[in-house]
């Protein structure tokens, strides 16, 4: 099948692609040329306007939030920007208390294949009285939605789960799990890091309480521009203990000594936002919003299918789902010596990564030419052949 010319027209915004084969957008999206200009704009404001630069800097927080709202189909005023997903999880964890005693609601349920940083935050909550229940995978690749639902009961407080599993690209049935959670009064916190920008997202339709993610991967925005969505009816329900003056109803009134929370989504903000990161993330988010994730997804399904055909042809073990409806934007595969081959591929500027117990991960994105996928697997075959199979 021919490449999508409309999509490849955006490639010129990413000149760095011409020096490498970039199949690493599940981990680090390619840098847009405009990110350099945007960062220069940030620095120039700083140089020329000193303290008054805040008048130009601060609106960038809401501008970034609005770009994210568009991408995740969220209503206006439901997203704030933060530094990273770990920080967001800590803010959300600090919204909860864990009563003790028989039948107390103190359970946190998530998949055993969760991205470790998220697990670390919630495991630490056990010191405050949380009880973490991890739902295992039976095949090391997928997670049974019924098993997730069965683990969620009247004692469950929160379900901090991945939308797309980082080590296999399996898409969890977030809608079904969120419905179960809602039925028993629990809150799904959907980590969309591996879906935003490559799998269409509609947080309202999914029915989740919270959603979050970052800009490093398919959004091509670099680090430091993570986002949090809060369902409108929940915004005022919580008072996060992990907080700061930007979460205050009037930050520049400098009221003392206690926090008086904003009545909008800014109540989930902490201290000073990372403004440079917001400038840097602008171009990638704009491009994704402009193209539309549905179009990106259609192309991703075609190209990940081509990757899977190569995996089969080279006799490697596929560790991602074959079914389109279950497969996110990346393809994971393994063979003996895969970690060394990955290292050599990166040395040769065929960018990919490797995860223990999973293997090599690759992800085409809207800017990928099919020819580059063929080049990648051709190179991998050469290296593997040289390494003795």
Helix 59-71 and helix 275-291: axis angle, to 10°?
30
User: Taking Cα atoms as reference points, which of 225, 218, 228 lies closest to residue 89?
Assistant: 228
By CB under 6 A, the residues from 190 to 219 that bind ligand PLP are: 191, 193-194, 214
Query: Shortest gap between Cβ of 58 and ligand PLP (angstroms)?
Result: 23
Contact mark string toward ligand PLP, 130..169, x via CB under 6 A: --------------------------------x---x---
Please identify, using beta-carbon distances, which residue of 45 and 358 lies nearer to ligand PLP.
358
The Cα angle at residue 34 between residues 164 and 43, in degrees rounded to 5: 110
Query: Shortest gap between Cβ of 91 and ligand PLP (angstroms)?
Result: 12
Query: Shortest gap between Cβ of 236 and ligand PLP (angstroms)?
Result: 26
156-162 and 79-82 beta bridge pairing:
unpaired
Please identify, using beta-carbon distances, which residue of 32 and 328 lies nearer to ligand PLP.
328
278 near ligand PLP (CB under 6 A): no
The window from 112-120, 268-276, 292-300, 334-342 that contacts ligand PLP (CB under 6 A) reads 112-120
340: part of which helix (H) or strand (E)? helix 338-347
Angstrom distance (rounded) from CA 319 to CA 359:
8
Angstrom distance (rounded) from CA 229 to CA 203:
8
Select from 108, 226, 341, 342 the one that contacts ligand PLP (CB under 6 A).
Answer: 226
Maximum separation of any 2 CA atoms in the chain, in Å:
68
CA end-to-end span of the chain, whole Å?
A: 30
Are 212 and 85 in contact by the 8 Å Cβ rule? The answer is: yes
Angstrom distance (rounded) from CA 373 to CA 266:
43
The window from 79-87, 254-262, 270-278, 370-378 that contacts ligand PLP (CB under 6 A) reads 79-87
The window from 152-160, 172-180, 188-196, 368-376 that contacts ligand PLP (CB under 6 A) reads 188-196
Select from 66, 94, 117, 264 the one that contacts ligand PLP (CB under 6 A).
Answer: 117
The window from 44-52, 110-118, 260-268, 364-372 that contacts ligand PLP (CB under 6 A) reads 110-118
Please give the size of the binding site for ligand PLP, defined by CB under 6 A: 13
Query: Shortest gap between Cβ of 74 and ligand PLP (angstroms)?
Result: 19
Query: Shortest gap between Cβ of 195 and ligand PLP (angstroms)?
Result: 9
Please tell me whether residue 72 adopts helix, strand or coil conformation. coil
Are 172 and 145 in contact by the 8 Å Cβ rule? The answer is: yes
Are 242 and 213 in contact by the 8 Å Cβ rule? The answer is: no
350-351 and 156-162 beta bridge pairing:
unpaired
Angstrom distance (rounded) from CA 289 to CA 219:
9
Select from 96, 110, 115, 246 the one that contacts ligand PLP (CB under 6 A).
Answer: 115
303 near ligand PLP (CB under 6 A): no
Contact residues: ligand PLP, CB under 6 A? 84-86, 115, 117-118, 162, 166, 191, 193-194, 214, 226
């Amino acid at each position: 099948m021919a490449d999508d010319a409309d999509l490849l027209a955006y490639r010129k915004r990413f000149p760095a692609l011409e020096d490498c084969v970039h199949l690493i957008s599940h981990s680090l999206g390619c840098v847009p040329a405009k990110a350099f200009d945007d960062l220069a704009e940030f620095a120039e404001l700083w140089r020329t306007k000193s303290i008054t630069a805040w008048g130009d800097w601060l609106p960038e927080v809401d501008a970034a939030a609005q770009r994210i709202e568009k991408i995740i189909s969220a209503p206006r005023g439901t997203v704030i920007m933060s530094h990273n997903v770990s920080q967001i999880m800590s803010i959300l964890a600090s919204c909860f208390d864990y009563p003790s005693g028989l039948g107390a609601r103190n359970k946190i349920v998530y998949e055993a294949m969760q991205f470790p940083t998220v697990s670390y935050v919630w495991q630490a909550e056990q010191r405050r009285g949380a009880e973490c229940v991890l739902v295992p995978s039976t095949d090391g690749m997928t997670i049974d939605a019924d098993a997730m639902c069965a683990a969620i009961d009247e004692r469950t407080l929160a379900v901090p789960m991945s939308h797309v599993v980082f080590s296999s690209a399996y898409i969890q049935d977030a809608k079904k799990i969120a419905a179960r959670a809602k039925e028993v009064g629990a809150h799904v916190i959907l980590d969309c890091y591996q879906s935003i920008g490559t799998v269409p997202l509609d947080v309202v339709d999914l029915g989740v309480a919270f959603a979050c993610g970052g800009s490093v991967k398919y959004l091509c925005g670099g680090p430091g521009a993570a986002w949090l969505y809060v369902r409108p009816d929940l915004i005022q329900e919580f008072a996060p203990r992990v907080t700061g003056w930007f979460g205050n109803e009037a930050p520049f009134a400098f009221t003392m000594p206690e926090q008086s929370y904003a009545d909008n989504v800014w109540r989930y903000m902490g201290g000073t936002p990372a403004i440079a990161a917001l400038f840097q993330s602008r171009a990638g988010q704009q491009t994704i919003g402009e193209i539309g994730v549905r179009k990106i997804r259609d192309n991703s399904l075609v190209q990940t299918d081509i990757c899977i055909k190569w995996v089969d042809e080279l006799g490697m073990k596929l560790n991602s789902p074959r079914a389109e409806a279950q497969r996110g934007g990346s393809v994971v595969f393994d063979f003996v010596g895969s970690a060394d081959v990955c290292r050599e591929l990166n040395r040769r500027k065929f960018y990919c990564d490797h995860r223990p117990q999973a293997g090599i991960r690759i992800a085409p994105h809207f800017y990928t030419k099919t020819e580059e996928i063929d080049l990648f697997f051709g190179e991998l075959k050469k290296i593997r052949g040289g390494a003795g199979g």
